[in-house]
């Protein structure tokens, strides 16, 4: 019979299920955005140019084939920076890619936009750099990507641990960093 108590409860039951489903869906969206990521006050781009060796990084898909000897070379070019990234694959061959970085207006050189495949860009933010421009921590606001770079292929463990601690203090997953093995340097001709 349409007028039974059971029939009158059906719309209330459907409404309750709907409210629970909506609340559950919204609860999954309740993530706290990361705090703003501070950079260094400024970077003297001419001093930053040259060769940097990757000491450690957060794993990422675009470096998945890199087994060792990851190195970046930066050169001023026009109003930006030419970027040449190279690494050695497990089979010994060299993988290389060239891109372009452009300083973000108002960032005093501490934030750059990098593209290896136009029109796609990524953030390259200098988060920590020593006074001598010998070691640097680079990352980006989502904290999914980060690198520790050095002018030499090796740094002492205490210095590495200090940079990892700095990364952690900025919200990066310290334990997720992997170190980069360096053996035979990659020559300028790519061998």
CB atoms within 10 A of CB 109: 19
Cα torsion for 138, 182, 59, 157, to the nearest 10°?
-60
In a domain, 6, yes or no: no
**CATH classification of the domain holding 61:** 2.40.128.20
Question: How many distinct structural domains can be found in the chain?
Answer: 1
Q: Which residues pair with 167 in a beta bridge?
A: none
Supply angle C-alpha 85, 116, 137, rounded to 5: 55
Establish if 8 belongs to a structural domain.
no
Which residues span the domain enclosing 116? 45-179
The pTM of the full predicted model, rounded to 2 decimals, is: 0.81
188 is a domain residue: no
Any idea of the CA torsion for 191, 56, 40, 151, to the nearest 10 degrees?
A: -40
Note down pLDDT in tens along the chain; length 191 residues.
556 655 555 444 433 333 343 334 444 444 566 789 999 999 999 999 999 999 999 999 989 999 999 999 999 999 999 999 999 999 999 999 999 999 999 999 999 999 998 888 999 999 999 999 999 999 999 999 999 999 999 999 999 999 999 999 999 999 999 999 999 888 776 65
């Amino acid at each position: 019979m349409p007028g039974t108590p059971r029939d009158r409860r059906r719309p209330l039951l459907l409404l309750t299920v709907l409210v629970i489903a909506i609340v559950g869906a919204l609860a999954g969206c309740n993530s706290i955005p990361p705090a703003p990521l501070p950079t260094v006050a400024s970077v003297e781009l001419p001093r930053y140019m040259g060769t940097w060796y990757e000491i450690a990084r957060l794993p990422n898909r675009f470096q998945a084939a890199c087994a060792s000897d990851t190195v970046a070379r930066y050169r001023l070019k026009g109003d930006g920076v030419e970027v040449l990234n190279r690494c050695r694959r497990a089979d010994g061959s060299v993988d290389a890619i060239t891109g372009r970085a452009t300083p973000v207006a108002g960032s005093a050189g501490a934030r750059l936009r990098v593209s290896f495949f136009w029109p796609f860009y990524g953030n390259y933010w200098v988060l920590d750099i020593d006074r001598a421009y010998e070691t640097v921590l680079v990352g980006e606001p989502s904290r999914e990507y980060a690198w520790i770079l050095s002018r030499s292929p090796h740094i002492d463990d205490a210095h590495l641990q200090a940079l990892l601690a700095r990364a952690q203090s900025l919200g990066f997953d310290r334990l997720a960093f992997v170190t980069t093995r360096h053996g035979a340097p990659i020559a300028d001709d790519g061998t």
